[in-house]
Amino acid sequence: MRAAIIARQFDVQGRLVTVEPYGSGNVNDTYLAIFRTTFSEQRFIVQRIRKSVFPNPEVIMQNMRVLTDHCHAKLEAEADGADRIWQLPKIIQTKTGEDWVTDTDGDLWRAISQIASAHAYEKVRNPEHAHEAGIVLGHFHRMVSDLPAERLGYALPGFHVTPGYLAKLDAALATPAGQDLLNASQEAKRAVRFVEARRARCSVLEEARARGDLGLRTTHGDPKVGNIMIDEATGRGTCIVDLDTVQPGLVHYDIGDAMRSVCNPAGEDASELGSVIFDLELFSMIYRGYQAHAKDFLSQADHRHLFDCIHLIPLELGIRFLADHLAGDVYFKVRYPGHNLRRALVQFKLAESIEAREPSIRKVLGESR
């Protein structure tokens, strides 16, 4: 097994016991490696970063090194006054002192520490879980608020730039294969019509950036609930993981993505579209948790665009899923034919629910300023 051969190249004491698939990510291949000595055991995460998805995987690791060095120093300095033990993955170097291994296919492999005694959930469990997710994201944003975005490279150029995804959808629709997939499904046709009715709204954040209302910051890129680690002993948030998409961006994309994930209790793979709603109680709780840490670095201009990002990100992700479906499922992992189309419909249903609840959402945002 290639993962086992790779795992042995990292600087870990003991002998390899097992390497098993781990987690349920949509992009990378992730494994849990266990090494043992006569008197100890070490568990760590081994991941393959596919060059077909990330054209410059080295940038991911360079960003991760900059970010973790910055955050680990701050976490240590603030540890005595913190209300919990905060964690963040640590890069495990190879036996020759490198941060990664490159295989014969050009894919990059890395090893990172496993977050101790913590678990992530694919769907939010209750309002308290939502509150902790907000606290974790707010804490992360505060940690990186003084990390200049220009110190980071672009692991995924164009990531979370919604008009770019709209252009990819248009390109997929312009191909014969895309038209065949579109014409084969009434659901796909309805999905395209849904996007067309909202095309003008897709550039709202980029237009705000162009006007100078919003600026680039260090962002996580994928702060969904499945990347929020909850301490098994205390039930409190302890860490955000999956740092592949850390790069310069608008902090609003992170906020919107977290709200999209946490406030839909049915989850990304909801079996019934009727179960997909934007839950206002969960929203109130995650936003309250986020504001506990973020109130000092969000400007008035940032606040003016919070509803925009909450509505835009599920629309954007739905566009990405739909475009991938029409392109032949080349980006996201799928479990069955039409999986990406189904994912798109879930996100569009969530965006529709947000539109219906706009006054209530804006009320929460206004009360929390």
Residues 85-103 have pLDDT tens digits of 999 999 999 999 999 999 9
Instruction: Return the pLDDT at 169.
Output: 98
Q: What percent of the chain has pLDDT over 70?
A: 98
Q: Strand pairing partners for 228?
A: 240
pLDDT confidence tier of residue 27, bands split at 50, 70 and 90: low
Instruction: Return the pLDDT at 67.
Output: 98
pLDDT confidence tier of residue 52, bands split at 50, 70 and 90: confident
Instruction: Return the pLDDT at 24.
Output: 63
The pTM assigned to this predicted structure is 0.91
Instruction: Return the pLDDT at 333.
Output: 86
Q: Per-residue pLDDT averaged across 203-212, rounded?
A: 96
Instruction: Return the pLDDT at 256.
Output: 97
1-114 CATH, one of 3.40.50.920, 3.30.200.20, 2.40.10.340, 3.40.50.2300:
3.30.200.20
Torsions phi, psi of 134, nearest 5? -65, -40
Cα torsion at 62, 64, 67, 68 (round to 10°)?
Answer: -120
Domain 115-369 sits in CATH at 3.90.1200.10
**Per-residue pLDDT for 367 more than 90?**
no
343 contacts 336 by C-beta, under 8 angstroms: no
Instruction: Return the pLDDT at 128.
Output: 97
**Per-residue pLDDT for 156 more than 60?**
yes
For CA atoms 332, 337, 343, 348, the dihedral sign is positive
Taking the C-alpha atoms of residue 109 and residue 88, their distance in angstroms, rounded to an integer, is: 19
**Per-residue pLDDT for 211 more than 60?**
yes
Helix axes 339-356, 306-327, angle to 10 degrees: 160
**Per-residue pLDDT for 369 more than 50?**
no
Residues 275-295 have pLDDT tens digits of 999 999 999 999 999 999 988
pLDDT confidence tier of residue 26, bands split at 50, 70 and 90: low
pLDDT confidence tier of residue 12, bands split at 50, 70 and 90: very high
pLDDT confidence tier of residue 22, bands split at 50, 70 and 90: confident
Arithmetic mean of pLDDT over the chain: 94
User: Buried b / exposed e across 301-321, counting CB within 10 Å, b at 16+?
Assistant: ebeebbbbbbbbbbbbbbbbb
Residues 306-332 have pLDDT tens digits of 999 999 999 999 999 999 999 999 988
What are the residue ranges spanned by the domains of the chain? 1-114, 115-369
